[in-house]
Amino acid sequence: MTLTSLGSWFFEPGFFSNSPVRVALTIGAIAAVVSGVVGVFTVMRGQSFAGHSLADIGTAGGSAAFLVGANPLYGFVAMNLLAAGAMELLGVRRPRGRDVATGIVLGASLGLAALFLYWDTTSTSTTGATVNVLFGSIFTLPASMVPVVAGFSVAALALIAVLYRPLLLSSLSSDLAAARGVPVGLVGLGFLVALALAVSLCAITIGAILSTALLVGPAAIALRLTRRTGVAILVACAIGVGATWVGIVLAYDSYAWTTSHTAWPVSFFVVTLIFVSYVAVDLATGRRSRRPRLSASR
Amino acid sequence: MFSSFMLNTWEAATIVAIVAGVVGFFTVLRGAAFAAHALPVGAFAGAAAATLVGVSTLLGFGAFSLLGALTISALGRRARSDVATALAVVMMLGLGSLFLSLTSEYAQQVYSLLFGQVLGVSTNELLPTAVLAAVCVLGVAVLYRPLLWSSVAPAASEARGVSAARMELAFLLVVAVATTMAVPVVGTLLVFTLLISPAAAARSFSANPMVAMALSVLLALATVWSSIALSYETNLPVGFFVGSIGAATYAMSRLWVAARGRRRVPAPARPAAVAG
């Protein structure tokens, strides 16, 4: 088997000349990198629930924007920034208080989403919006989205870069950070803003499921493999981009797998790749050290 | 509002609210809001699977929420529970998106499964709902003391021979049964709100577990009943009312705590603080 035939075996014909695929690869990579960077801190701080909730909460903003005819991305971002503020306002510093605060904000937002989606469906008689937001459709993104997505990513990454040292310290030990004079609350709010930006970006482009998968999965795997934060961030980005790209290739190929020619969703492949990698790393590293991870209080 | 076709709705919603109040108390106490969100959402994927293979959706709900509980518990042994829950929920949703793409019949039901179809409960849905509710409440009654101990003081209860990991699994299974029972009636998102908001508000009013649990049930009933009534009158989705009333209840409980805290000068160290 020559290299070319191996290539064409893995990549179905037309993969690289297909413009939706190229846009999907680009946006997928951007989303994976931002999620990897923000995700490492999310996992360290035990805020996976907040990260996942924001993806769902944005639905309320997205459906409201849809209702008034604005770009859903701006609705997502606005709603998520509001929600991040509300979570910080309600959430006491204890991890459990935060858990309930996140839950309350999530519940209220989903109620609003129910209302807006109801109005959306009665005014346009389509139910596509719900499914689309939840499961995303990376192949239907227009190329004009790339600069918008890149802009929001740069904003989120810049915020993390500015906050890097105090954020790291307060993520490892908020007491120690406070003793050193780090404004822990402000840093926490700044991080939630970065998280809100990253999640809005991912949820609107690749869907809420993939957003959480890319945020938590690669970062959790990376933190299993290394304890150095900088290295973990790089590893998380690499795993995220790798899983996204392989997932896109597999989804593209899956069109030819069945006789009925229904392409399997990208999110299924990416999530499965990440989940299987996590379980593999978990089993491989679990034997060596049974020490609990960087858990703050639980 | 109380015509014959609405009677099923009132009965089903009442059963769901009672169970949600009881299970929700432990959900909030254990800080398990994420699991309470994950299992219903995972069950939602189960319905897609059931539609695909042509079995009853209740079976799909049950299978997927149990699968979710087992996955969270298995992954959670060596990782933080929020990471385990996040991975479990995305995996279940990933499977859901696959099943959804393979069947075309299901997409129309998505909205009602997410946000509930409480105004259309049929009589033959009532019996499984009641049976599963009984199982759930019985489970909590049997587990009550060890579960309470292991939620409030995990280390101390471990020393007394109550395995925290086993209690976590037992609790997740109870949530899974509650989910299976409630999702077909009120939708995945309402189950979550009903599990969290009334219980969180109730805990602000009383530190006594029994009182808080009873209060949580009462608040859940009040939330559901007024939401159905409002939804019936205004024709707006019931999920919107449950979400807003739930958040408003919690907000009021926080205000009440703040107001009471200001009157009593040295804030009393509440025993519930041990939970953190």
A108 contacts B80? CB cut-off 8 A = no
Residue positions counted in chain B: 276
Nearest to A104 among B98, B110, B196 (CB): B196
The tens digit of pLDDT for each residue in B207-218 reads 888 899 999 999
| ipTM of this complex prediction, to 2 decimal places | 0.83
Counts of helices then strands in chain A (DSSP H, E): 12, 0
Q: What region does A91 belong to: left with phi over 0, alpha with psi -120 to 50, or beta?
A: beta
HSE, side-chain direction, 13 A CA sphere, residue B174 = 28
Q: What is the pLDDT along chain B (276 residues), one digit of tens a residue?
A: 667 667 888 888 899 999 999 999 999 988 888 888 889 888 878 888 888 888 888 888 889 989 999 999 888 887 778 899 999 988 988 888 888 777 766 555 666 666 666 666 777 778 888 898 999 999 999 988 888 888 888 788 888 887 888 888 999 999 999 988 888 777 777 888 899 999 999 988 888 888 999 999 999 999 999 998 898 888 888 888 988 999 999 989 888 888 887 654 444 444 444 443
How many CB atoms neighbour CB A123 within 10 A? 10
State how far the alpha carbon of B65 is from the alpha carbons of A29, B60, B178, in Å: 32, 8, 9
- The C-alpha atoms of residue A193 and residue A155 are separated, in whole angstroms, by 10
- pLDDT tens digit string along B34-70? 888 889 888 878 888 888 888 888 888 889 989 999 9
| Chain B residues 185-204 with a CB less than 8 Å from chain A | 189, 192-193, 196-197, 200
Q: Do A100 and B31 touch (CB under 8 A)?
A: yes
Among all chains, which residue has been given the structure tokens 């409480």?
B118
Shortest distance, CA B234 to any CA of chain A (angstroms): 12
Closest CA to A150 of A19, A31, A21: A31
Mark yes or no for CB contact B276/A213 under 8 Å.
no
CB contact under 8 A, B276 and A97: yes
Is B81 in contact with A51 (Cβ distance < 8 A)? no
For chain B, say whether A275 makes contact (Cβ under 8 Å): yes
Q: What gap in Å lies between CA A34 and CA A31, rounded to an integer?
A: 5
Nearest 5°: CA angle at A43, between B179 and B147? 40
Q: Do B177 and B136 form a contact (C-beta atoms < 8 A)?
A: yes
* DSSP assignment letter at A264: P
Q: Where are the beta strands (DSSP E) in A57-197?
A: none
Note whether A107 contacts B: Cβ–Cβ < 8 A.
Answer: yes
Compute the distance between CA of residue B95 and CA of residue B76 in angstroms, rounded to an integer. Answer: 20
Residue B113 and residue B183 in contact, taking contact as beta carbons nearer than 8 Å = yes
B40 touches chain A (CB under 8 A): no
- Dihedral of CA atoms A87, A93, A178, A193 in degrees, nearest 10, equals -20
Q: What parts of chain A have a pLDDT lower than 50? A: 1, 125, 290-298
Cβ contact B244–A118 (<8 Å): no
Question: Considering the entire predicted model, what is its pTM?
Answer: 0.84
Contact of A282 with chain B, judged by CB distance below 8 Å, is answered with yes
Name the amino acid, one letter, at B225.
W
Centre a 10 Å sphere on the Cβ of residue B66 and count the other Cβ atoms it contains: 20
